Amino acid sequence: MKYVIVGSSHFGYEAVQTILEAEPKAEIHLYERGDKASFMSCGAQSYLEGIAQSPDEIHYANEDSYIKQGINIHLNSDVVGLDPEEKTITVKTDQGEEAASYDKLLLSPGGYAPRLNIPGKDMEHVYTFRGRDDAEIVKARMADAKKVIVIGAGYIGIEVAEAFARNGQEVTVLDAVDRFLPTYLDEEFYTSLSEEAEKKGLIFKGKEFAQEVLSENGVVTGLVTDHGEYEADTIIMACGVKPDTAWLKDALKVDEKGFVLTNDYLETSAKDVYAGGDATYLHFNATGNDMNIGLATNARKQGVTAAKNALGGKVKAPGVNGTSGLAFFDLKFATTGIKDSTIHTYDGEVKSFYCEEKIRPDFMNNEDNTVEMKIFYNADTEVILGAQFLSKEDITQAANTMSLAVTAKMTLTDLAQADFFFQPGFSRPWHFLNVLAMKAQGQTYGSTKMLF
């Protein structure tokens, strides 16, 4: 059996390891467009900030390690075509194009970072930020940049903006929406986020649309928006990710947005062809609908599922909750399940509750150990559908706990009565998750107040 895997990142990596575990002598061909294998893009911020000293540290496999495993690794090999009838792919290299056969094909087409279609988008020192090449280019620019504009206030844009701000540059983040990170944290959390940004010198301009990149002699000098003009010597376009699937549209069923359509077993419309990663949809547990949720954890799960099915199994892809977390300067936040940006996809009435609570007892004399919390639940059954957390403390594991609650269809009562340990150095007698559920139900016996 000849297994061909396209894309060496999270999906591809797990697919290789899963096949090897079951068939140690399997013939596996792994194709990668770039000159390095298995770059972990979610670690790129650590490289910008000097935590990782080299991008080589952000790979969880490389050419040598794959060769030692007996994998036929093909770097600088761009897969540009698929013929499912002949069971071949077309591979483009420096030597031209050639066909390669497969018995089972596992695709992770991934996505690309688009540039805004505005005048000046291709000027020198206008960058995108996705993958190893972008990370190296942007890192090199950090030595000379002085005034930076980041267009896009999602995860990627905020990570890059924070790295530049920590490096001492003047940074402005621009977005068409009125706040940053709007698809991850709801409006209740924005006061804390914006105050943190202001303290760290990061400027945010919401409800503005970039219109033109200004330049002199082909080099960036500024940006024009519908609200005015800004000086800049560096512009990062972090305007989302689009599926990189144009080469597949005549071979597989692909929707109008470019996402490859798969069934519950990650089978595509073509026999013996499986797909996963950023260019596919996943089952979103909180709503029961399929969504695109581009997270490394999801792609890893899909890689295992696709490989097991390519090996002859019949394994359903697990549902996900979109659980994620991030640090923003001195703040940490995490989220799972439904939020304001996805509530419209749920078939039913949803209620939510927001509160702020202390993590530890007052007698521990911790200056600031407050956690901001929000929970979503079904209005009729009180089944938990999602939650968000933000604090200066590292409360991010709470989102993992709540992800389990969503998957298990726990209710507010279940969470209010859940058995969590108490030690003053870590928590209160009523854990903040207990209190969140209690207060959502209108109960007050989780209070921190002392009676003297």
Distance CA 269, CA 284 (A): 21
3-state secondary structure of 118: coil
Please state at what angle helix 296-310 crosses helix 10-22, rounded to 10 degrees: 30
Q: Could you tell me the CA-to-CA distances from 25 to 21, 62, 181, 271, 440 in Å, in that order?
A: 9, 19, 46, 24, 55
364 three-state secondary structure: helix
**With the C-alpha atoms ordered 140, 145, 149, 155, is the resulting torsion angle positive or negative?**
positive
Which of 154, 340, 335, 124 is CA-nearest to residue 232?
Answer: 124
User: Residue 190 phi/psi, 5° resolution?
Assistant: -70, -30
Report d(CA 47, CA 51) in Å as an integer: 6
Amino acid at residue number 195: E
| Amino acid found at 351 | K
User: Is 10 an active-site residue?
Assistant: yes
DSSP for residue 317: P
Determine the Cα angle at 241 with ends 235 and 242, to 5°: 125
Residue 74 designated active-site? no
Give which of 398, 328, 44 is closest to 180, Cα–Cα: 328
Of 29, 42, 239, 431, catalytic: 42
DSSP string, 238-261: ----EE--GGGTTTS-B-TTSPBP
- Active-site residue (options: 10, 59, 125, 431): 10
Q: Which two tokens stand for residue 398?
A: 């709470």
Q: Are strands 234-237 and 126-128 parallel, antiparallel or unpaired?
A: parallel
Label each residue of 277-311 as H, E or C.
Answer: CCCECEEECCCCEEECCCCHHHHHHHHHHHHHHHC
Q: Amino acid identity of 310?
A: A
Tell me which residues are annotated as active site. 10, 42
